[in-house]
């Protein structure tokens, strides 16, 4: 099939690369000239394991990036993968969705034949029908007989995105009419995952609900972890016993510094705002966010209890990415941690294997070390913020610290007796 992807970020680039890798002729459109140039030079603008090797194989053959929307008019399907960042009130900012929809409509003015526009971005229920459809049809000067709409949420995890895209637990396809959904299903013909066919708004709600549920598991585990810490119980032992119950499952029970990233915080906030607008008090969602907001401050408070007044102390922060295997720092829990450390007068020395450059845009004035050992050298305390597997191998480097006070926000150290926020 001929596929156009709008937005070459984490989701759009992975989606485009994987579609090309399964044989589809794919064009990725982005408004950022630097991103477009990098992709066409077979270089990934983001760190994502396995992505660059697909670009090396597919660019110049059946994959390309472009600033122009021209390919939309000759494609069978166009996937919208632009960002939906939070507004100040926590609701989803749909301005990128709106402008992409207008550009798609304009590009479809002269097209002949049936075209399907698929929303892959995470959007509030009702967005595809009330925002995307009218904008595309109005700018294309066409009717719903010539252009139809589908919603196909993405569930990939950064750092494991290629694997997740290829082997999803399920493929959700919401559509305005069956033949739109059939065309999307055709793209995934070779995938073995179960396909769930729904209406547009239900597909949008499935994505929000999945993320809200996973975030709830994390905040629940963190609350249990906070209680366990006080009672002197190892929460990881507890959750191992809990997670073996098949009704609960072992995943997303890792207590720690809370969830970050570009999805969980914004999607739970957006769902809360939606609930409020619908006249429903989102008690559970609010609690999920409250617990998450508090964890970074608990971590710094615990550190301060061990080190004494943090003013003037040299504190190593290991891990800046919101999770391992990515360079993404959006809403990373290390951001409020560093802010709080700086507020208390500490000198922060940060290290991350991949995300240092991205964090420099947020904290240009703190010190960035070239290795964990450099960060730890002479430090009065250390906070571990990301579960990079290589941090699990840190051992002798801790001896370089002026005072060996180490607290984990993620349980990754193999050092026996390492203390964590919840353990």
Phi, psi dihedral angles at 49 (to 5 degrees): -55, 130
Q: CB of residue 82 vs ligand NAD: minimum separation in angstroms?
A: 4
> Tell me, what DSSP letter sits at residue 87?
P
Question: How far apart are the C-alpha atoms of 368 and 326, rounded to whole Å?
Answer: 18
Spot the catalytic one: 133, 228, 263, 382: 263
Which of 51, 59, 156, 215 binds ligand NAD (CB under 6 A)? It is: 156
Interatomic CA distance for residues 352 and 333, integer angstroms: 13
Provide the minimum distance between the beta carbon of 120 and ligand NAD in the complex, in angstroms, as a whole number.
6
CB of residue 63 to ligand NAD, shortest distance in Å: 16
* Site pattern 31..70 for ligand NAD (x: CB under 6 A): xx--x-----------------------------------
Residue given tokens 């964090």 in the structure block: 359
**Rounded CA separation 178/148 (Å):** 10
100 binds ligand NAD per the rule CB under 6 A: yes
* Residue 18 appears among annotated catalytic residues: no
Instruction: Tell me if 99 contacts ligand NAD by CB under 6 A.
Output: yes
Q: Is 101 in the site for ligand NAD (CB under 6 A)?
A: no
Instruction: Figure out which of the listed residues 83, 174, 181, 265 binds ligand NAD, where binding follows CB under 6 A.
Output: 83
375 CB-contact burial (10 Å; exposed 0-12 / middle 13-18 / buried 19+): buried
Between 53 and 99, name the residue whose CB sits nearer to ligand NAD.
99
**Residue 26 makes contact with ligand NAD by CB under 6 A:** no
Work out whether 262 is an interface residue with ligand NAD (CB under 6 A): yes
Stretch that binds ligand NAD, among 5-13, 308-316, 396-404, 409-417 (CB under 6 A): 5-13
Residue list 63-82, contact with ligand NAD (CB under 6 A):
81-82
Stretch of 94-102, 168-176, 276-284, 308-316 contacting ligand NAD, by CB under 6 A: 94-102
- Give the pair of three-digit tokens for residue 126: 């009702």
Query: Edge-to-edge strand order for the sheet containing 419-420?
Result: 367-368, 347-351, 314-318, 381-384, 406-408, 419-420
Phi-psi region of 403 (alpha: psi -120 to 50; beta: other; left: phi over 0): beta
Would residue 261 be called left, alpha or beta, if left means φ above 0 and alpha means ψ between -120 and 50 degrees?
left
Using CA atoms, how far residue 347 sits from 321, 322, 364, 376, 378, in Å, is 20, 21, 13, 12, 12
Candidate list 3, 20, 24, 30; residue touching ligand NAD; CB under 6 A: 30
Stretch that binds ligand NAD, among 28-36, 228-236, 342-350, 351-359 (CB under 6 A): 28-36
Q: Which two tokens stand for residue 298?
A: 């608990």
Structure tokens at 53: 């090797």
Quote the CA–CA distance of 151 and 147 in Å, as a whole number: 14
# binding residues, ligand NAD (CB under 6 A): 27
CA-based Rg of the chain, rounded to a whole angstrom?
A: 23
Residues 158, 223, 327, 352: which binds ligand NAD (CB under 6 A)? 158
Which of 3, 4, 5, 10 is the binder for ligand NAD (CB under 6 A)?
10
Span of 152-160, 190-198, 373-381, 387-395 interacting with ligand NAD by CB under 6 A: 152-160
Enumerate the active-site residues: 263
Where do contacts with ligand NAD occur on this chain (CB under 6 A)? 6-12, 29-32, 35, 81-84, 96, 99-100, 103, 121-122, 154, 156, 158, 262-263
């Amino acid at each position: 099939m001929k596929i156009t992807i709008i937005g070459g970020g984490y989701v759009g680039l992975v989606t485009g690369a994987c579609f090309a890798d399964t044989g589809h002729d794919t064009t990725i459109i982005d408004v950022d000239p630097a991103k477009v140039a990098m992709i066409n030079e077979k270089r990934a603008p983001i760190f994502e394991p396995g992505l660059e090797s697909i670009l090396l194989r597919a660019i110049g053959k059946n994959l390309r990036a472009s600033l122009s929307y021209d390919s939309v008019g000759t494609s069978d399907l166009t996937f919208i993968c632009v960002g939906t960042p939070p507004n100040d009130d926590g609701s989803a900012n749909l301005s990128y969705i709106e402008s992409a929809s207008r550009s798609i409509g304009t590009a479809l003015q002269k097209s002949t034949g049936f075209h399907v526009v698929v929303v892959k971005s995470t959007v509030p229920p009702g967005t595809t029908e009330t925002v995307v459809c009218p904008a595309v049809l109005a700018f294309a000067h066409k009717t719903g007989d010539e252009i139809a709409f589908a919603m196909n949420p993405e569930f990939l995890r950064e750092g494991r995105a290629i694997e997740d895209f290829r082997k999803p637990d399920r493929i959700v396809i919401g559509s305005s009419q069956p033949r739109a959904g059939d065309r999307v299903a055709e793209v995934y013909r070779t995938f073995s995952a179960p396909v769930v066919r729904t209406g547009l708004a239900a597909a949008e709600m499935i994505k929000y609900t999945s993320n809200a549920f996973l975030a709830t598991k994390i905040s629940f585990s963190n609350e249990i972890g906070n209680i366990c810490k006080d009672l002197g119980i190892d929460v990881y032992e507890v959750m191992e016993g809990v997670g073996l119950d098949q009704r609960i499952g072992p995943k997303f029970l890792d207590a720690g510094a809370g969830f970050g990233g570009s999805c969980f915080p914004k999607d739970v906030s957006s769902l809360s705002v939606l609930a409020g607008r619908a006249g429903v008090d989102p008690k559970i969602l609010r609690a999920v966010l409250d617990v998450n907001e508090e964890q970074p401050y608990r971590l710094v408070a615990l550190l301060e209890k061990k080190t004494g007044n943090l003013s003037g102390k040299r504190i190593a922060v290991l891990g800046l990415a919101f999770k391992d295997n990515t360079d993404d720092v959006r809403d990373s829990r290390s951001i409020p941690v560093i802010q709080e450390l700086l507020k208390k007068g500490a000198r922060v020395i940060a290290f991350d294997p991949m995300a240092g450059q991205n964090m420099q845009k947020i904290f240009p004035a703190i010190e960035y070390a070239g290795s964990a050992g450099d960060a730890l050298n002479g430090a009065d305390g250390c906070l571990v913020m990301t579960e990079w597997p290589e941090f699990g191998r840190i051992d002798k480097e801790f001896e370089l610290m002026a005072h060996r006070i180490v607290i984990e926000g993620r349980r990754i150290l193999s050092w026996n007796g390492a203390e964590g926020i919840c353990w």
